[in-house]
């Protein structure tokens, strides 16, 4: 049971990368829906064993989790290729089923395209034997150090060769032997992430654009159906923010994130990271994200009007305290992630209607910006309770970044 995510996505549960995730974000579920889960005994349910709404449930996987272990999928080589890189990112990790490590492999598919597969929990026997013969390294017993195990080598792969197994989120539920959950989700799941690089584009591209049009259409329809399903394992927990993630309803909104220059505010998927400046701390991300109105899942009723073309997001990096924003009534809003509608946009200014930021109503904010050869500079105005009440700050090119109302960004991934 696979849930398909769009290329280049910014918002959860599509992606965890606010500046745009230029890879394929797929989730594999071990249970297709609640009918394949079981009510846990002694947890206050109705006792019929079925997983009904609101009950505590888990997946029966047998003693030791063998029913999960037997169903872990295998990546196979799509064409004859060359393995060019093997990397151990982390050693054994109890976060994952069977405490597997985190491997990553690169392969050249031809002179133009290469494939990188990450979040691998193990190397398949066929590939393990080829790596052992070529390098003397046994991936079954290798525990580190973390880093590239080999790079620049070329190990020939045949089409259909078993390559590796993804990491699995599955933990046995305390007091319920043989029943498993997938972290904070009910069903155990598989993290399937990979990138395809087009060396003519000098970067990652959307793999679905490399498929036959009919196949891509089928994948698009499957993703849209999952998004529209009120019981979707991926989306149902995020129903209150559907106006956010439904904005990214195309599997391939772009072929490539390029250009990644500073020619306008929308380059490199509209994703920006705070850059280091004197007297500042790198702790913030900013994105301006196009609403994909051509997607069947798009709903104009989600937004202020049909003229809204973009969403804006500000987010703090991992482990960093939330923002501290003074609202029009003097209270503080402290979101870690803030998303809003871009109500107005010009060549050097934005008007944003921030929603769901922990204040009693939407908050409006104008921002002045400029672009130069170093990146993007934004000066944020005061919050207001109406669009007409939001004032545009004055931004001068010589004004320094001060880590408060004037922020400077570029496209480097620092957080």
Find the range with the poorest average confidence among 47-56, 59-68, 257-266: 47-56
- Token digits of residue 192: 């399937």
Residue 325 has pLDDT above 90, yes or no: yes
> Is the distance from CB of 6 to CB of 26 less than 8 angstroms?
no
Query: Average pLDDT for residues 262-286, to the nearest whole number?
Result: 96
Whether residue 308 is predicted with pLDDT greater than 80 in this model: the reply is yes
pLDDT digits (tens, 9 = 90+) for 283-297: 999 999 999 999 999
pLDDT of residue 143: 85
State the pLDDT at residue 42.
87
Residue 9 predicted with pLDDT over 80: yes
Angle at alpha carbon of residue 30, lines to 209 and 86, rounded to 5°: 55
Q: Is 273 a residue whose pLDDT tops 80?
A: yes
Q: How far apart are CA 20 and CA 126, in angstroms?
A: 35
| C-beta of residue 155 within 8 angstroms of C-beta of residue 83 | yes
Contact 191, 16 (CB under 8 A): no
Per-residue pLDDT at 306 exceeds 80: yes
Q: What is the distance of C-alpha 102 from the center of its chain? A: 18
Please state, in angstroms and rounded to a whole number, the distance separating the CA atoms of residues 183 and 168: 10
Nearest CA-CA partner of 107 in 86, 125, 128, 122: 86
pLDDT of residue 54: 81
CB proximity list for 407: less than 8 A, separation 6 or greater: 274, 284, 286, 377, 378, 380, 401
d(Cα 82, Cα 95) in Å, to the nearest integer? 31
Calculate what percentage of the chain has a pLDDT beyond 90. 87
pLDDT digits (tens, 9 = 90+) for 326-363: 999 999 999 999 999 999 999 999 999 999 899 989 99
Torsion of CA 288, 292, 293, 295, to 10 degrees: -160
pLDDT at position 153, please? 72
pLDDT the model gives residue 47: 87
Q: Closest Cα partner for 151 from 101, 116, 193, 113?
A: 116
pLDDT computed for residue 73 by the predictor: 96
DSSP-derived letter for residue 9 is: B
Q: Given pLDDT bands bounded at 50, 70 and 90, which one contains residue 44?
A: confident
Q: Are 19 and 257 in contact (CB under 8 A)?
A: no
How many helical (H) and strand (E) elements, i.e. helices and strands, does the chain have? Answer: 4, 25
* Residue bearing the bigger pLDDT, 127 or 191: 127
> Any bridge partners for residue 323, and if so which?
none
Name every residue whose Cβ is closer than 8 Å to that of residue 22 and which is 6 or more positions away in sequence.
7, 8, 195, 203, 204, 257, 269
CA-CA distance, 312 to 348, in Å (whole number)? 15
Residue 139 to residue 274: CA distance in whole angstroms: 38
Q: What residues are paired with 375 via a beta bridge?
A: 372
**pLDDT on residue 278:** 92
pLDDT on residue 414 = 92
Instruction: Compute the distance between CA of residue 64 and CA of residue 36 in angstroms, rounded to an integer.
Output: 19
3-class SS shares of the chain: helix, strand, coil, % to 5: 15, 35, 50
Please write the tens of the pLDDT for every residue from 110-131. 999 999 999 999 999 999 999 9
What distance in Å separates the CA atoms of residue 6 and residue 112, rounded to the nearest whole number?
23
Q: What is the rounded CA–CA span in Å between residue 83 and residue 109? A: 9
Confidence class of residue 263 from pLDDT cuts 50, 70 and 90?
very high
Section 142-169 average pLDDT: 92
pLDDT at 190: 95
The per-residue pLDDT for 52 is 86
Q: What percent of the chain has pLDDT over 70?
A: 100
Cβ 8 vs Cβ 25: under 8 Å? no
| Confidence check: pLDDT of 150 > 90 | no
Buried b (16+ CB within 10 A) or exposed e, 266-277: ebbbbbbbbbeb
Cα of 153 vs its chain's centroid, Å: 30
d(CA 139, CA 103): 10
pLDDT at residue 152, rounded to an integer? 74
pLDDT by residue (tens digit) across 375-403? 999 999 999 999 999 999 999 999 999 98
Mean pLDDT of all residues belonging to the chain? 95
């Amino acid at each position: 049971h696979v849930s398909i995510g769009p290329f280049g996505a910014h918002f959860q549960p599509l992606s965890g990368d606010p500046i745009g995730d230029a890879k394929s974000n797929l989730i594999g579920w071990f249970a297709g829906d609640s009918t394949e889960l079981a009510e846990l005994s002694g947890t206050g349910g109705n006792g019929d064993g079925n997983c009904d709404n609101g009950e505590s449930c888990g997946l029966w996987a047998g003693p030791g989790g063998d029913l999960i272990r037997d169903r872990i999928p295998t990546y196979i080589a799509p064409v004859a290729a060359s393995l060019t890189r093997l990397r151990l990112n982390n050693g054994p990790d109890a976060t994952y089923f069977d405490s597997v490590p985190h491997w990553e492999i690169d392969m050249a598919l031809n002179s133009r395209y290469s494939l990188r597969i990450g979040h691998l929990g193990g190397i398949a026997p066929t590939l393990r034997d080829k790596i052992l013969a070529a390098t003397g390294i046994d991936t079954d017993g290798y525990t580190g150090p973390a880093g590239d195990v080999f790079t620049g080598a070329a190990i020939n792969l045949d089409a259909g060769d078993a390559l590796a197994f993804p990491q699995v989120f599955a933990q046995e539920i305390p007091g319920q032997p043989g029943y498993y959950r997938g972290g904070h989700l009910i069903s155990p799941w598989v993290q399937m992430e990979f990138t395809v690089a087009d060396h003519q584009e000098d970067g990652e591209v959307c793999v679905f654009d490399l498929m036959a049009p009919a196949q891509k259409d089928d994948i698009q329809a499957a993703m849209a159906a999952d998004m529209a399903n009120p019981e979707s394992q991926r989306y149902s927990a995020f129903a209150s923010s559907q106006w956010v993630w439904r904005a990214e309803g195309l599997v391939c909104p772009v072929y490539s994130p390029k250009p990644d220059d500073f020619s306008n505010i929308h380059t490199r998927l509209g994703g920006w990271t705070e850059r280091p400046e004197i007297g500042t701390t790198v702790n913030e991300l900013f994105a301006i994200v196009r609403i994909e109105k051509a997607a069947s899942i798009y709903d104009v009723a989600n937004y202020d009007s049909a003229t809204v073309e973009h969403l804006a997001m500000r987010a703090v990096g991992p482990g960093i305290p939330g923002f501290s924003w003074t609202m029009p009534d003097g209270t503080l809003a402290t979101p870690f992630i803030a998303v809003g509608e871009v109500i107005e946009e010009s060549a050097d200014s934005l008007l944003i209607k921030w929603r769901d930021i922990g204040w009693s109503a939407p908050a409006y904010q104008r921002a002045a910006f400029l672009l130069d050869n170093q990146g993007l500079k934004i000066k944020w105005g005061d919050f207001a309770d109406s669009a007409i009440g939001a004032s545009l700050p004055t931004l001068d090119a010589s004004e320094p970044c001060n880590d408060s109302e004037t922020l400077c960004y570029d496209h480097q991934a620092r957080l």
